[in-house]
Amino acid sequence: MLSQAPKAKEEPPQPGSSAHLKALLRSAGIPIPPAVYTKAKAAGAEEAAEEALHAGLLALLEAEGLDDSSDKKALQEVKKRRELQKDLEGISEANVVSGPRGRRGAAAAHAPAFVPVPQGTAGDDSDEF
């Protein structure tokens, strides 16, 4: 019988590190644009690149009203707000009805009344003379 080796649990990223900020952004549903990595790569040395990446990730969090010590509740609120915003993105406000539907009888009151044409006058043009 083969015994499986216990899986090593991944340690959570240290608070304040770029990996921690990435995890916060992922859990809040905030995408990391490639421009953040491009700016970090253009910064030059490894330390400068890490600082630029950290600053870019922190700026993304701050744009949503979060920081590097935000709790799960705040992250879930941001995620829910972003999903709602994404769902409402394609909806035109011109099609949204603001008032109530009204009653069925009220709609009929505005419709033109049907007046039937009397039987004898509709198509009898030949007997008039």
Write out pLDDT tens, residues 4-50.
Answer: 666 656 666 667 788 889 999 999 999 999 999 898 888 888 888 89
What is the C-alpha separation between 7 and 125, in angstroms, rounded? Answer: 98
Q: How confident is the model at residue 121 (pLDDT cuts 50, 70, 90)?
A: low
| 8 A C-beta contact, residue 75 and residue 66 | yes
* pTM given for the model: 0.59
Domain boundaries, the chain: 13-88
Q: What is the pLDDT of residue 118?
A: 81
If one compares 28 and 95, the residue with the highest pLDDT of the two is: 28
Task: Report whether 74 contacts 64 (CB < 8 A).
Answer: no
Mean of the per-residue pLDDT values of the chain: 79
Q: Which of 22-26, 47-51, 94-98, 120-124 has the lowest mean pLDDT?
A: 120-124
User: For 122, which DSSP code?
Assistant: S
Q: Residue 45 has what DSSP assignment?
A: S
Measure the CA angle with vertex 65, ends 12 and 82; round to 5°. 85
pLDDT in tens, 52-90: 999 999 999 999 888 888 889 999 999 999 999 888 887
Q: How many CB atoms lie within 10 A of CB 64?
A: 19
Cβ-Cβ contacts under 8 Å for 58 (sequence gap 6 or more) = 21, 67, 68
Cα radius of gyration rounded to whole Å, the chain? 33
Residue among 16, 60, 18, 17 nearest 35 (CA)? 60
